[in-house]
Amino acid sequence: MENILITGAFGQVGTDLILALKENKPGATIVASDIRIPEKPKPGIQQVVLDVRDQEELRKTISRYNITKIYHLASILSASAEKDPFLAYDININATFGLLKTAYKEHVRSVIIPSSIAVYGPGISRDMVGSGVPTVPQTMYGISKVTGELLGNYFSMKFGLDVRGVRFPGLISYETVPTAGTTDYAVEMFIKAVEGKPYSCYLRPDTFLPMMYMPDAMTSLLMLSDADSGRLKNRMSYNVAAYSFSPEQLAAAIKRHIPGFEVSYNADERQNIADGWPRSLDSSEAMRDWGFSPQYTFDAMVSDMISNLQAIKGRRQNAV
Ligand code: SER
């Protein structure tokens, strides 16, 4: 039976991963750790306060729950990392190295570390970017994600620790409001539209970025985690994505459901980050090696996001 530790468990990806693991891995012990945990315990999981930089606490947690697998999600995202690159280095690089070292020493079997489109930098052809394209990022977040990929490969080769990772595009979800990333505008736009408010977008209207709906992101993590190791030609850097769109295309799609929705555009420093990232990704290696293909089209994602956010709004209104 698996005993699974999630770091950064109450962020955007972790919140959905807890639900996905509860559904897909019945019987597994799920230990959800984060620097802050919800006051009201969530049912069916263990909640642990853990700063990933604290190796001794991490070791104790792994030992106490006899952890067999770690999803290492704790990370400072792209926009925040540019505001405080030293903190981002400490959490994203030093703590990731510490986690791999502790996982190896404590005999954890496998570690999953999501990577990102941020591993790419300016100077490449930005369309249908494959995993073999050189990764020369100019952001601290990108540098930390490339480092995580390299360390994952190293620990796999040198110590036989089974480390795997996907490169996520922007992720769209309704369970938590993401903050600190560059692709978060997409979620913010949905939230404002459903609240009946206008939205001021911090990217130019024509900024294309690869994106994916969270249910597909969860499928990709679980499929990669369960994939036969012998089939993995590339452990740490599987590109996954579903579609690409720009803010103006998303706004138009939302307006088809909510006609009065208004969006204005005021690009800020996050535009520079987005301009260095791919416009679209080639995810064919994930398809070839472990059969991944996303289920949600752009239109299906837009409809599902709006109906879920409307349901959440309805529940909130009924609660007051
Ligand atoms: N969604 C992330 C960010 O915007 C990219 O992986 O920082």
Q: In what order do the strands lie in the sheet with 69-72?
A: 46-49, 29-34, 3-7, 69-72, 110-112, 162-164
Cα-to-centroid distance, 66 and ligand 1 (Å): 32
Q: Quick one: CA dihedral 200, 202, 205, 209, positive or negative?
A: negative
63 C-alpha to ligand 1 centroid (Å):
32
Angle between helices 140-159 and 95-105 (to 10 degrees): 20
The finding on whether 168 has its CB within 6 A of some atom of ligand 1 is yes
pLDDT for 142-199, tens place per residue? Answer: 999 999 999 999 999 999 999 999 999 999 999 988 889 999 999 999 999 999 999 9
* Residue span of the structural domain in which 226 resides: 3-169+213-239
- Same domain, residue pair 119 and 162: yes
C-alpha R_g of the chain: 19
Same domain, residue pair 313 and 290: yes
Query: From CA 34, how far away is CA 16, in angstroms rounded?
Result: 14
Q: Is 147 in the pocket of ligand 1 (CB under 6 A)?
A: no
Q: Does 118 contact ligand 1 (Cβ within 6 A)?
A: yes
Q: pLDDT at residue 319 above 90? A: no
Which helix (H) or strand (E) element contains residue 18? helix 12-24
Among 12, 166, 184, residue to substitute to test ligand 1 (most atoms within 8 Å of Cβ): 184
Inform me whether the pLDDT recorded for 320 exceeds 80: no
C-beta neighbour count of 65 within 10 angstroms: 17
Interval between CA 79 and ligand 1 midpoint (Å)? 8
Residue 250's domain is classified under what CATH number? 3.40.50.720
Based on the fold, state whether residues 189 and 152 are members of the same structural domain: no
The answer on 149 and 276 residing in a single domain is no
Q: Quick one: 98 and 178 in the same domain? A: no
- Ligand 1 atom nearest the C-alpha of 182 is 4
Place of tokens 């962020």: 11
Give per-residue pLDDT as tens, 108-147.
999 999 999 999 999 999 999 999 999 999 999 999 999 9
pLDDT at 54: 98
Alpha-carbon span 101 to 308, nearest angstrom: 40
How many domains does the chain contain in total? 2
